[in-house]
Structure 1
Amino acid sequence: MDNTTTSDFSISTPRNHGLLNLNIVNVFHLVIGVIGILCNTLSIVIILKIPVSKSSRVNLFILNQSIVDLTSSMFLIIFALSLETSQYIGVLGEFLCRFWSPGSHKFLFVTFAISTFNLTAMSIERYTAVIHHLNYKKLFTRRNTVFIIVSVYILGPLAQFIPILKLNVIDAKCEVKASWSSVKNSIVGTFLFIWEFLIPCLVMTYAYVMIIRKLRSSSVQPLGNDPNRASPTNADTSGSSSAVTAASQNIPNQIRHKNITITVFILFIVYIICWSPNQFTFLQFNLGGPLDFSGGWYHFTVFLAFCNTFSNTFVYAFKQRHFQNVLKNVLCRRAEEIHEVSTSTSGGS
């Protein structure tokens, strides 16, 4: 997230006209963006192909997560390939200075915030499904789920609209200055850390701690092998058989919900791994600590955070059987089409 508040600085951003801003850092960003577009596009296609009968409310959050990460990947490529300009003139110059200059990649950080809050919403959905399963269908109707997803787009980037930096066009140059004193900037930077990272992490941690405790205490018992259960009499044989049948049909649903919960939990762990170094680095920087923006550690934290834009697809591929099955069908169908085209071409020649 955009925790880049600094103390008492003024940056002028003159640029060379007509040159691409392609250094080694932007090349890495470009590669991550391309991988993110490929992975998230694949995720969206596969999720949309999952039969409705086998889908769940969490799939809507997963679909939204892929859409947001796809958007982040696009912005990564756009910013990596953005044309340099030596002058910021007119309305377009004002727009580029405020939203597209090196001092403000606002759109990119907005998508990161939305992604974090959507992941938090997924953890709440899983918490409700496991801990309060009797009320789950009432709370997570399709309408309520869509409302929550829309709320994510409003609440997530809320802190990004705090005027941390002053960006103004002066003499056709984009001037970037701190909005407040170093003390106030530290307060704002800390608030950004709390709102966009700490609070979501605390919510997700609580949800998964409770989920893990619940899953460990309520393992599924094999039907028909309970030694403490008396044998049914002839009078209640049919009733017991129907109950056993209903319970046995419910086991696959329990297993599927457990697998989905584990998948979302892994997404949370991957998020922590990707974003923690960057967030804590900027927290200490906002509190007055040193940070070398040209150093290896800073670029490593940014690179690791950006990798979160495509990492989720690999989690889906390894953990979700429906995802694997649809992926195999898509790849096999594509291979068959290529084979048919090559066969018809060779036969025609």
Structure 2
Amino acid sequence: MTLLSPNRIDLLILLFGVAWSSTIAQDMALNTTPESDMMSTSISYFNESVNESDVETGSSGWAWYPFTWTWWLIVQTILAILGVIGNGIVVVVIYQRYYSIRSTDILIGALAISDLLTSIFLFPIPWAKKVPDNILGRLYCKLLYPSFFLWFCITAATYLLVGICIERYVAIVYPLYFNRVSSKRKTTTFVLGLWLFSFLLVVYTLFIFIYDESIGYCAGIIKTELGRVVQAYYAISIRLIIPVAIMLVTQILIARSLHIQAKRFQGMVNSGKGDSNQSFHVVARNRIVKMMLIVVLVYVVTWCPNQIAYLCFNLGYISSSYRGSSLHRILTLVGFLNSCANPFIYAARNPEFRSAVMNIFLCSKQKDEAVFSGSGRNTK
């Protein structure tokens, strides 16, 4: 076995793709300064009650808010740690079984990588109050001020989940076509395409946040009510309405197809034409479908309240006191919970994943079979 076989190269390309993407992308504002918070869906990294006299100023022209461990930052850090550990385990499990995994395993591995990066970007950092007028200051305003990396990874995870739903739909409704065209290389290309698509969805934020020389700090260029409303509708469309609609439609069609197939299989069993091996594959496939349905529902439950409140805030249905309030922070933390929830769902619903995790901690040899794919063949 060579060190860099074609299969390993595919995985390296996949890992390189997400690492490269995460360094050039993200989305909305994470701080609570007056302008950017009109577009914010999350929480700030600094103590908002700080006074000017509390600011720590450096000789480089930077000024920083003193870092204070508030309750929301503590919870955010706990979620980040859980996300890094949980998603890291998922990535390790799939990597160890790379030669026997199928398309669903690759997509779930890519989702775990996105959630892993999201969790890393959730770790609190000191927040700048003054930014110098140089290249570093302008990069800060483009990338860190709107938490670009964090929101890109969240968007990528969303559309990878959409991709998993589409892949399962094709595999179950059109199994012969799926087995004919499915391969590791094509699935890897599909994953990279989803990351690129996610980047294109959020790249506009690189242009709407600038360094404002008049105030010596970052500022958003969308200052009109119409601009904020348009941006709010766009954000909720790409993060909630469109992906959730696709996920729910595919899940409904999958459930309908499985119901028809189950009735057909039951008829074969009653007539003595069914076999135990076929029954095993039906049960395994249904288990994966149910697991992914739970993942979709958790995504909807965790992100819907945050995104709906964000839209209502920008439309003026929620008062300005919502910004930075306890409710704002709780809804945002519930959204961030999605990034660390999936590994626990896998452990609860997938015996093969539980076995693989136990093998990691016991330093045992992994089985030569897929972890998450309940149907189809090993992709080439």
Q: For the superposition of Structure 1 and Structure 2, which TM-score range results when normalised by the shorter chain?
A: 0.7 to 0.9
Letter in 2 for 1:287: L
1:63 aligns with 2:109: yes
Letter in 2 for 1:60: I
1:16 aligns with 2:56: yes
Deviates more, 1:296-305 or 1:133-142: 133-142
1:282 aligns with 2:310: yes
Partner of 1:110: 152
For residues 271 and 198 of structure 1, the distance between their equivalents in structure 2, rounded to whole angstroms, comes to 12
CA contact (8 A) 1:156 1:196 kept: no
Residues matched between the structures, number:
311
1:183 aligns with 2:226: yes
1:251 aligns with 2:279: yes
CA contact (8 A) 1:127 1:207 kept: yes
1:273 aligns with 2:316: no
1:298 aligns with 2:328: yes
Query: How far did 1:125 drift?
Result: 0.5
Q: 1:282 to 1:323 in 2, by over 3 A?
A: same
Tell me the alpha carbon deviations over residues 90-133 of structure 1, each in whole angstroms, 9 at most, x when there is no partner: 211111122212xx111100000000000000000111111111
Q: 1:225 to 1:191 in 2, by over 3 A?
A: closer
Match of 2:217 among 174, 183, 186: 174
CA contact (8 A) 2:156 2:198 kept: yes
Partner of 1:48: 95
Deviates more, 1:215-224 or 1:304-313: 215-224
Secondary structure at 1:307 match in 2: helix
Query: How far did 1:71 drift?
Result: 0.4
TM-score by length of 1: 0.80
Partner of 2:40: none
More helix by share: 1
CA contact (8 A) 1:3 1:279 kept: no
Secondary structure at 2:112 match in 1: helix
Unaligned runs of 5+ in 2: 1-25, 38-47, 58-63, 365-380
Partner of 1:213: 256
For residues 222 and 328 of structure 1, the distance between their equivalents in structure 2, rounded to whole angstroms, comes to 35
Secondary structure at 1:20 match in 2: coil
Query: How far did 1:200 drift?
Result: 0.6
Tell me the alpha carbon deviations over residues 241-280 of structure 1, each in whole angstroms, 9 at most, x when there is no partner: xx86xx5433323322221111111110110011000111
Partner of 1:204: 247
Tell me the alpha carbon deviations over residues 172-222 of structure 1, each in whole angstroms, 9 at most, x when there is no partner: 731323425211221122022112221111111100011111222322746
Partner of 1:160: 202
Query: How far did 1:149 drift?
Result: 0.4
Letter in 1 for 2:151: F
Partner of 1:307: 337
Partner of 1:120: 162
Q: 1:212 to 1:307 in 2, by over 3 A?
A: same
For residues 222 and 215 of structure 1, the distance between their equivalents in structure 2, rounded to whole angstroms, comes to 12
* Match runs of 1:22-37 below 5 Å: 22-37=69-84
Match of 2:237 among 172, 175, 194: 194
1:74 aligns with 2:104: no
Greater C-alpha Rg: 1
Unaligned runs of 5+ in 1: 230-242, 335-349
CA contact (8 A) 1:278 1:302 kept: yes
For residues 68 and 21 of structure 1, the distance between their equivalents in structure 2, rounded to whole angstroms, comes to 28
For residues 99 and 286 of structure 2, the distance between their equivalents in structure 1, rounded to whole angstroms, comes to 19
Letter in 2 for 1:39: G
Q: Kindly, what percent of the aligned residue pairs are identical?
A: 18
Partner of 2:350: 320
Partner of 1:98: 142
Q: 1:225 to 1:189 in 2, by over 3 A?
A: closer
Deviates more, 1:258-267 or 1:307-316: 258-267
Partner of 1:341: none
For residues 145 and 301 of structure 1, the distance between their equivalents in structure 2, rounded to whole angstroms, comes to 34
Partner of 2:191: 149
